[in-house]
Every structure is written in C-alpha cells, then in structure tokens.
Amino acid sequence: MDRYIRQIPIIGEEGQKKLKKAKVLVVGAGGLGSPAIAYLAAAGVGKLGIVDGDSVEEHNLQRQIIHAGNVGMNKAESAKAFVERLNPDVEVEAYPFNITPENVVEIVKKYDVVVSCPDNFETRLLLNDACKILGRPMVHAAIFGFEGEAMTIVDTPCYRCLYTSFPKADKTSTAVMGFTAGFFGCIQASETVKLILGMEVLRGKLFRGDLRAMEFFEVEIDTNPNCPICNGEIKEIIPENYKN
C-alpha cells in the first residue's frame, strides 16, 4: 500500500481494493493508449489487457512515450514491458494483434471496462457495439491537432448516437500534438478510475477541449432514435456487417 500512499487519502483503502479487483481493457497502445495505460497501471488497476497489432515506429515517440527504446517491438508487448517495470502489482495480458469483428466479443467480455484508443472510426464503432451488447462501459476519446473529445458510454447515448456519418480518415496524415494525446489519454484514465470507484463520470456528455485556445466545454448528448444499437436493431456482432 506504500506505493499508493498519496492517493489513499482520496479514494480510501476500499477504493484501492476496488482498483486491484478491476479488469480494464485498453484497445490501442498509441497516442491515447500510452498515457491511459501508464496512469491506470500506476493507480493500481489489478488487470490490464492491451490490444495493438502495430509495431513501434520512430515517429510514434513524439507522443507514445511508454514505448521509449522499443522501436520495432509490437506495441502491446512494449506496453506490457513498460507496465511491468512501473508497477509489478498489475497483471498484464498483451494481445499483439488488432481487434476485429471476429475476436472483439471474446476479448471484451473478459473485462469490466473498455478504454477505446484506436486511430480509426471502424474500430471505435466496433468497440461501441460490442460494449453496448455486452453491457460494458466504454471510455471514448479522439484527438486532432490541439483538440480532442472524450465521452464515457455507460447506459447512456452511444458513439453511434453521436456521429451519423464517418469520414474515411487517413491515419498517416492525422496531425496531432503529443501533449494533446497525453491530455485526453489522462482523461480516459481518470474516467476509468472514477467508473471503477463508482464516482460520477461524463455520462451522456461529450467533453471537448482545445489546448490552443484553452477552451473546454461539455455538450449533452441525446439518444438518437435512429441509432441501431440504442434502438435494439443490432443485437449481436455479425462480422459481415463490419466489412466495407
């Protein structure tokens, strides 16, 4: 408990035990996933699952700071090595491949909370659908430049309610400042810890922030009656429905 002596006055020993019992899945060990993983591990989350099929490249290190020294290594494995150095109390399972419609249900159902940190809309939608179907909370964030957004989806409007159309983003051209990823990844770690502790989170609210203008605000999100997840049209993950 010595390791957590600075946070126990805030969350109590009971809170620390809740964290120890929690199983959190982080999908994507990139810009958002790196800080989320680091702070969840540091806080003493008992089990972390980390999913990422990519390898560390030099241009990732501008923001993905947990991968320092690991260029060429798979990101899930690299993140696991980081967590084991930072906090040996945390059990880590690395999934060194991408989440797909075929494997998403089996992986997500092993965890209590999903932290969504991919770099594309397709994976966010897939995670959103799997989490809603399995009844798992999902902590969403996305970033661009100096700006980002975050939302915690529990029994509240979902990611599909938020966006009715999805542009085809080219991830290699997605420009971002490293600290924007750090800021929003930390919000995801914070939301996840608060969920585990039963504290109030960004439920039904989209948080938006612009670190250049230093403007931050929240938007109330309504359930979209045409959302096929929230209106019950989609009841299971059928891989054919996720093929382009």
227 vs 237 by CB, closer to Zn ion: 227
Alpha-carbon distance 28 to 47, whole Å? Answer: 16
Edge to edge, the sheet with strand 47-51 lists 91-95, 47-51, 23-27, 113-116, 138-144, 147-153, 205-210, 215-220
**Closest distance to Zn ion from the beta carbon of 110 (Å):** 24
Contacting Zn ion within 122-161 (CB under 5 A): 158, 160-161
Contacting Zn ion within 157-186 (CB under 5 A): 158, 160-161
Tokens of 227: 């959302």
How many other C-beta atoms are found inside a 10 Å radius of the C-beta of residue 15? 20
Contacting Zn ion within 55-94 (CB under 5 A): none
Alpha-carbon distance 210 to 66, whole Å? Answer: 24
Query: Strand pairing of 205-210 and 215-220?
Result: antiparallel
8 A C-beta contact, residue 33 and residue 124: no
Residues 191-230, mask of contacts with Zn ion (x by CB under 5 A): ------------------------------------x-xx
**Angle at the Cα of 9 from the Cα atoms of 204 and 49, rounded to 5 degrees:** 55
8 A C-beta contact, residue 188 and residue 36: yes
**Angle at the Cα of 113 from the Cα atoms of 110 and 1, rounded to 5 degrees:** 95
26 vs 227 by CB, closer to Zn ion: 227
**Closest distance to Zn ion from the beta carbon of 227 (Å):** 3
Cα separation values, 4 from 19, 83, 89, 98, 143, Å:
11, 16, 11, 33, 30
Residues 17-56, mask of contacts with Zn ion (x by CB under 5 A): ----------------------------------------
**Closest distance to Zn ion from the beta carbon of 228 (Å):** 8
66 vs 229 by CB, closer to Zn ion: 229
161 vs 177 by CB, closer to Zn ion: 161
**Closest distance to Zn ion from the beta carbon of 128 (Å):** 8
62 vs 226 by CB, closer to Zn ion: 226
Tokens of 197: 């502790």
**Closest distance to Zn ion from the beta carbon of 161 (Å):** 4
Alpha-carbon distance 113 to 130, whole Å? Answer: 12
76 vs 161 by CB, closer to Zn ion: 161
107 vs 153 by CB, closer to Zn ion: 153
**Closest distance to Zn ion from the beta carbon of 220 (Å):** 14
Interacting residue ranges for Zn ion, rule: CB under 5 A:
158, 160-161, 227, 229-230
